[in-house]
Amino acid sequence: MNDKVVVIVGATGGIGSTLARKLAAAGSKLVLVGRDGKKLAGLGADLGSSSFLTIPTDITDLSQVETMAQKAVGHFGRIDVLVNAAGAGVMKQFNKITPEDIDNMLDLNLKGSFYTCQVVANVMKENRSGHICNVVGILGKHPMAMASAYCASKYGVVGFSKCLAEELKRYGIKMTLFYFGGVDTPFWDNVSLKVDRQKMLTPQTAAEAIYFAMMAQPGAVPTEINIQPDSHLFL
Ligand SMILES: NC(=O)c1ccc[n+]([C@@H]2O[C@H](COP(=O)([O-])OP(=O)(O)OC[C@H]3O[C@@H](n4cnc5c(N)ncnc54)[C@H](OP(=O)(O)O)[C@@H]3O)[C@@H](O)[C@H]2O)c1
């Protein structure tokens, strides 16, 4: 991964920041993306790598995503890998979910990652190479009680990603989908379900899997990676 230009969306999150540290140690050039500029700067300062750029961006706004990609290319000249690791969870019984909850899930998890894929794939297309890593989660392919709005957004991510994979392979752009079970990150701080975070996967496990996919041989596409914790998570 030395010298590869990697855009991490959700770079300050549990999974994104762990991956950022791993890639910085490998010599990658990092574009760190999230809404909170101070957190991004703090992460960058921690990396001990001079090859990073922080771009505060709200991915629910297409124009901000376009500006982010322009700045990344302006600085590093290209984008080799896009990691979509931004997202949030609303976990409530079906009749407690408000229109605002549905909008939040669809705007961030579904439309936000659609915009980043759409804009960055257009950049990669010019270079006829690239790799998009979408951190979907297991709730993008299996249902769970209390997760109807979240699952709706994540099943949607799987739908558009698989279509994009078909459209993009002719340009040498790979797509990998990651279906992790529960990962112990700040994602769960605002979720009211009673879950045992000690039994979850670690962010290191998630970051290792994403790194593994990035390291695939040029002609090989790891299309999907599934990793589950070995025990039941609910208290
Ligand atoms: N944790 C799990 O159990 C788990 C399991 C499977 C899949 N996933 C998925 O993995 C991804 C990362 O999860 P995580 O556990 O690392 O979550 P996390 O620790 O809560 O981090 C979320 C990240 O998303 C960013 N973000 C939120 N809203 C944003 C917006 N509008 N624009 C740009 N960035 C935004 C946050 O930064 P700012 O707040 O500064 O914007 C933060 O960097 C999510 O898509 C999640 O659904 C999580």
Q: Ligand 1 center to residue 9 CA distance, Å?
A: 8
* 3-class secondary-structure state, position 224: strand
Position 94 in a domain: yes
For the chain, how many structural domains are there in total?
1
- Of 43-52, 61-70, 104-113, the range with the lowest mean pLDDT is 43-52
Q: What is the pLDDT of residue 66?
A: 98
CA 83 → CA 20, 37, 134, 176, distances in Å?
Answer: 10, 18, 6, 10
Position 141 in a domain: yes
* Strand residues in 101-208 grouped as ranges (E): 130-135, 173-180
Tell me which residue has its CA closest to atom 1 in ligand 1. Answer: 183
Contact 19, 95 (CB under 8 A): no
CA 16 → CA 48, 88, 94, 178, 203, distances in Å?
Answer: 16, 13, 30, 13, 9
Question: Domain range spanning residue 27?
Answer: 5-227
| pLDDT for 235 beyond 60 | no
% pLDDT > 70, the chain: 98
Taking all residues of the chain, what is their mean pLDDT, rounded to a whole number? Answer: 96
Contact 134, 85 (CB under 8 A): no
Q: Ligand 1 center to residue 219 CA distance, Å?
A: 30
Contact 132, 115 (CB under 8 A): no
pLDDT, tens only, 130-176: 999 999 999 999 999 999 999 999 999 999 999 999 999 999 999 99
Question: In CATH, what number is assigned to the domain containing residue 213?
Answer: 3.40.50.720
CB 12 near ligand 1, within 6 Å: yes
pLDDT, tens only, 175-212: 999 999 999 999 999 898 889 999 999 999 999 999 99
Q: Ligand 1 center to residue 170 CA distance, Å?
A: 30
Contact 137, 89 (CB under 8 A): no
| pLDDT for 47 beyond 60 | yes
Contact 138, 180 (CB under 8 A): yes
Q: What is the pLDDT of residue 233?
A: 65
Q: What is the pLDDT of residue 189?
A: 95
CB 133 near ligand 1, within 6 Å: no
Average pLDDT value for residue range 67-80 = 98
